[in-house]
């Protein structure tokens, strides 16, 4: 027969093995990049910036309050304001 101490040690070893496995899986999946595009049925936002890879803003979708005018050549940009 096993003593009470041996039973507790066996239980703790099993517990540590399972906890290590669960933590490892959670750690590895936290850094997994999703390859599919996300789809949304509805988004609430005050301002949306569409940017190029280099960070340059190409389009802004905003309400009047969220639209910030920057010094730029108006010949290069189109602005649509809906009232």
DSSP letter for each residue of 1-65: ---HHHHHHHHHHHHHHHHHHHHHHHHHHHTPPP-SPP--S----SEEEEE-TTS-EEEEEE-TT
57 has which bridge partners?
51
Q: Where are the chain's structural domains?
A: 1-31
pLDDT of residue 24: 94
Residue 50 pLDDT level (bands cut at 50, 70, 90): confident
Comparing 49 with 70, the larger pLDDT belongs to 49
Q: Is the pLDDT of residue 36 over 80?
A: no
What pTM value is reported for the model? 0.42
Compute the Cα dihedral for 32, 33, 39, 41 and give only its sign: positive
Q: Is the pLDDT of residue 40 over 90?
A: no
pLDDT of residue 78: 58
Average pLDDT over residues 48-67: 79
Name the phi and psi angles at 60, rounded to 5: -125, 130
Q: With CA atoms as reference, report the closest residue to 67 among 43, 55, 83, 53.
A: 83
């Amino acid at each position: 027969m096993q003593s009470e101490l041996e039973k507790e040690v066996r239980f703790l070893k099993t517990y540590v093995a399972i906890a290590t496995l669960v933590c490892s899986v959670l750690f590895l999946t936290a850094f997994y990049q999703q390859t599919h595009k996300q789809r949304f049925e509805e988004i609430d936002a005050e301002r949306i910036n569409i940017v190029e890879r280099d960070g340059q803003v190409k389009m802004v979708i905003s309400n009047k309050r969220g639209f910030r005018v920057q010094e730029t050549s108006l010949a290069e940009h189109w602005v649509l304001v809906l009232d």
